[in-house]
Amino acid sequence: MCLKSVPRKHALTAAPSRRGMDEPDAAPQRNGSAAGARMHGLFTDADTGRLTVALTLSDSCLTVRRIDCASPPEHLDLRDCLGSRAHRGEAQGAQLCVYFYPYRRRWMVSAPVRQRDERRFRLGTEESDEDASLREAQRWARAINTARRPEHTHGVLFSEVHRPCGVMVLVNPQSGRGQAMALYNSHVQRMLTEADIPHTLFITERQNHARDLVRSADLTQWDALLILSGDGLLFEVVNGLMERQDWEKAIQTPLGILPGGSGNALAASVHHYTRASPVWGEDLLTSCGFLLCKGLVSNLDLVSIRLSSGARVFSFLSLAWGFVADVDIESEQFRQIGALRFMLGTLLRLASLRVYQGKLAFLPAESKSGPDSASSPPADSRLPDHLLAPLEQPVPRDWTLVEEREFVLVLAMFQSHLSEDLLAAPDARADDGLIHLFYVTAGISRAALLRLFRAMQSGTHLDCGCAHLVYRRARALRLEPLSAAGVMTVDGECVEHGPVQAQVHRGVARLISA
């Protein structure tokens, strides 16, 4: 295991303690106050040292007005503020640094994206008391960090993550095109530092390394677990937490996801839940990093999946059989081209389209079934699956049976995105308690299937009027492949091929989201 400790403060910063950063702001002192403002004061531009700037802090914005020119004041929205820090200036006085990530339009990008905007202001002169200037700059930083705390989000109440300990950052350096460490060094470390989030970096060295790590870790030392990788590493973490003796408490540890792999489906889903325009690549990383540093958590559904061997895994993203699973696994050989591997894999699989025999049944979401609907649910002390009967028994009477037929694909989605650029279930939410079930029957043409996946890029595939595509909302399902050949995946990871059933458990985990 590779371990790298990252100090809570940047080397150039002489910021106050964590306790000081969280203390309520005192009444304005030296710089005075403006009407309706929390604080008001005069600074000079840190870059030129000449322009005098008047800063006014309210509960919602930081207003910057240059008093030696007639330009209108600039209002910086504190909802876009990641954090603020104070440190001694290189020449004299102290510097106040404020980090914003507002939405802005960029050349060659159709929708606005979050872009970094660092503002630096200098307090004090050669004749000033440097210690006094630093204390005043720190007071401003505390006030900004207090004022920027969000009070509400889009219709969902979240609690705020407290950070007395630190964050465990797990990175798979082999994920995607092998760029995860470069993304950490160029983006993630800087954003965590700007938000004053202490963290320790763990670099995974083998498959299931993260699973073993979180299964035995002392979670009281960590406020959250942050995954910088594809969805596979989070799959390891979730199942490692559920394998602990204290799984009920462990699974409540907030989980954060930053896109560092090929698919990045959960990261794209987290961004989608903000109702912002779709973004990709490093813009998606910036968006998810901003949401992470805001420290808001929501509930996250977990889906219990029982395999034919009796093994049980927990999923947060998807269960796939047929075309989607084929593309996911067969495109692994093209990992070095990143997300383009899925496009190439899709074209290759379309060229030799497969059809699979199978049986499918599901419990409709509107069913009022309770704990007694299954005659004898499988025994397990972790999240009992009270809606499931043993695989060797028929499904309960209130389930819907899909007559035995040939399938091109069966896809159960638990989040909105199947990959970074495929919006499979536009109405899904992280804690909606639903399985969004899609299946495509045999007889669909290659051209029609390709049109469906192209429409899925914008989430409009259900509007295509394709008779072979069926969508249902469910709470549980059973899938019984009858073909000997085939691939089945859970969260993009290959699992044993055979009969499988699943039940959603609403909101049992916690996800840093918005």
The residue from 126, 147, 168 where one domain ends is 147
pLDDT band at 341 (very low <50, low <70, confident <90, very high): confident
User: Do both 115 and 238 map to the same domain?
Assistant: no
Distance between CA 342 and CA 418 in Å, rounded? 11
The CATH number linked to 131 is 2.30.29.30
pLDDT at position 177, please?
84
pLDDT band at 96 (very low <50, low <70, confident <90, very high): very high
pLDDT at position 269, please?
97
User: How long is the chain?
Assistant: 514
More confident residue, 156 or 165: 165
Pseudo-torsion of CA 313, 500, 373, 385, nearest 10°? Answer: -10
The residue from 147, 168, 195 where one domain ends is 147
User: Do both 237 and 340 map to the same domain?
Assistant: no
User: Do both 78 and 165 map to the same domain?
Assistant: no
Beta strands in 350-499 (DSSP E): 356-364, 400-413, 417-419, 422-423, 435-441, 469-481, 488-490, 493-495
pLDDT at position 158, please?
35
Lowest mean pLDDT among 327-331, 394-398, 500-504: 327-331
pLDDT at position 10, please?
29
Residue 403 neighbours by CB distance under 10 Å: 6
**Residue 189: strand, helix, or coil:** helix
Mean pLDDT of 241-247: 97
More confident residue, 336 or 226: 226
Distance between CA 237 and CA 192 in Å, rounded? 21
- The tokens describing 199, both together, are 């963290």
Q: Is the pLDDT of residue 251 over 80?
A: yes
pLDDT at position 334, please?
78
Q: Half-sphere exposure of residue 161, counting CA atoms within 13 Å on the CB side?
A: 30
21 occurs within a structural domain = no
pLDDT at position 455, please?
96
Q: For the chain, what percent of residues have pLDDT higher than 70? A: 85
Mean pLDDT of 59-82: 91
Mean pLDDT of 153-158: 39
User: Do both 337 and 360 map to the same domain?
Assistant: yes
350 occurs within a structural domain = yes
User: Do both 279 and 318 map to the same domain?
Assistant: no
Mutual orientation of helices 323-330 and 340-351 as an angle, nearest 10°? 120
Distance between CA 24 and CA 55 in Å, rounded? 19
Query: Of 484, 429, 476, 445, which Cα lies nearest the Cα of 154?
Result: 429
Residue 248 neighbours by CB distance under 10 Å: 13
pLDDT band at 33 (very low <50, low <70, confident <90, very high): very low
24 occurs within a structural domain = no
Q: What Cα–Cα distance (Å) separates residue 15 from each residue in 10, 86, 93, 94, 472?
A: 9, 6, 14, 11, 54
What does residue 261 show for φ and ψ, rounded to 5 degrees? Answer: -120, -155
362 occurs within a structural domain = yes
User: Do both 325 and 432 map to the same domain?
Assistant: yes
340 occurs within a structural domain = yes
Query: Of 235, 243, 475, 252, which Cα lies nearest the Cα of 374?
Result: 475
Q: Is the pLDDT of residue 12 over 60?
A: no
pLDDT band at 149 (very low <50, low <70, confident <90, very high): low
pLDDT in tens, 204-228: 999 999 999 999 999 999 999 999 9
* Exposed/middle/buried for residue 98 (C-beta within 10 Å: 0-12, 13-18, 19+): buried
- The tokens describing 156, both together, are 């969902």
pLDDT in tens, 423-461: 999 999 999 999 999 999 999 999 999 999 999 999 999
Distance between CA 364 and CA 361 in Å, rounded? 10
Mean pLDDT of 313-328: 94
User: Do both 186 and 282 map to the same domain?
Assistant: yes
Distance between CA 28 and CA 140 in Å, rounded? 9
pLDDT at position 385, please?
95
- Give, rounded to a whole angstrom, the gap between the first and last alpha carbons of the chain: 32
Contact assessment for residue 80 and residue 137, using Cβ atoms and an 8 Å cutoff? no
Q: Where is 235: in which H helix or E strand?
A: helix 231-242
User: Do both 347 and 488 map to the same domain?
Assistant: yes
Alpha helices of 110-208 — where are they, by DSSP H? 130-147, 180-183, 189-194
The CATH number linked to 174 is 3.40.50.10330
Residue type for position 370: G
Which single residue is written with the structure tokens 């269960």?
Answer: 319
Query: Of 89, 86, 82, 78, which Cα lies nearest the Cα of 10?
Result: 86
Residue 193 neighbours by CB distance under 10 Å: 22
The residue from 301, 317, 350 where one domain ends is 301
The CATH number linked to 316 is 2.60.200.40
Lowest mean pLDDT among 81-90, 113-122, 210-219, 270-279: 81-90
More confident residue, 329 or 319: 319
Lowest mean pLDDT among 23-27, 174-178, 186-190, 388-392: 23-27
Q: Is the pLDDT of residue 305 over 60?
A: yes
pLDDT band at 93 (very low <50, low <70, confident <90, very high): confident
Mean pLDDT of 270-291: 94
What DSSP string describes 53-94? EEEEE-SSEEEEEETTS-PPPEEEEGGGEEEEEEEE-SSSSE
pLDDT band at 163 (very low <50, low <70, confident <90, very high): low
User: Do both 294 and 308 map to the same domain?
Assistant: no
Q: Is the pLDDT of residue 373 over 80?
A: no
What DSSP string describes 474-488? EEEEEEEE-SSS--E
Query: Of 286, 316, 292, 293, which Cα lies nearest the Cα of 304?
Result: 316
Distance between CA 135 and CA 459 in Å, rounded? 52
Q: Which residues pair with 244 in a beta bridge?
A: none
60 occurs within a structural domain = yes
Annotated catalytic residue: which of 80, 196, 223, 231? 231
pLDDT in tens, 223-238: 999 999 999 999 999 9
pLDDT band at 372 (very low <50, low <70, confident <90, very high): low
Please give the DSSP secondary-structure letter assigned to residue 282. H
User: Do both 436 and 319 map to the same domain?
Assistant: yes
Mean pLDDT of 475-501: 94
pLDDT at position 29, please?
37
338 Rama class: left (phi>0) / alpha (psi -120 to 50) / beta: left
162 Rama class: left (phi>0) / alpha (psi -120 to 50) / beta: beta
Distance between CA 427 and CA 404 in Å, rounded? 28
Query: Of 227, 243, 403, which Cα lies nearest the Cα of 317?
Result: 227
Contact assessment for residue 260 and residue 229, using Cβ atoms and an 8 Å cutoff? yes
Q: Is the pLDDT of residue 11 over 80?
A: no
CA-based torsion, 21, 26, 29, 34: positive or negative: positive
Mutual orientation of helices 446-456 and 340-351 as an angle, nearest 10°? 160
363 occurs within a structural domain = yes
3-state secondary structure string across 12-34: CCCCCCHHHHHCCCCCCCCCCCC
What does residue 158 show for φ and ψ, rounded to 5 degrees? Answer: -120, 155
String of b and e for 438-459 (b: at least 16 CB within 10 Å)? bbbbeebeeeebeebbebbeeb
pLDDT in tens, 393-426: 999 999 999 988 999 999 999 999 999 999 999 9
pLDDT band at 151 (very low <50, low <70, confident <90, very high): low
Q: What Cα–Cα distance (Å) separates residue 102 from each residue in 7, 19, 77, 290, 445?
A: 27, 28, 8, 10, 45
User: Do both 319 and 453 map to the same domain?
Assistant: yes
Mean pLDDT of 78-95: 87
User: Do both 290 and 314 map to the same domain?
Assistant: no
Number of domains in the chain: 3
Q: Half-sphere exposure of residue 323, counting CA atoms within 13 Å on the CB side?
A: 28
59 catalytic? Reply is: no
Domain range for 199 is 159-301
More confident residue, 431 or 25: 431
pLDDT at position 375, please?
52
pLDDT at position 154, please?
43
153 occurs within a structural domain = no
pLDDT at position 148, please?
66
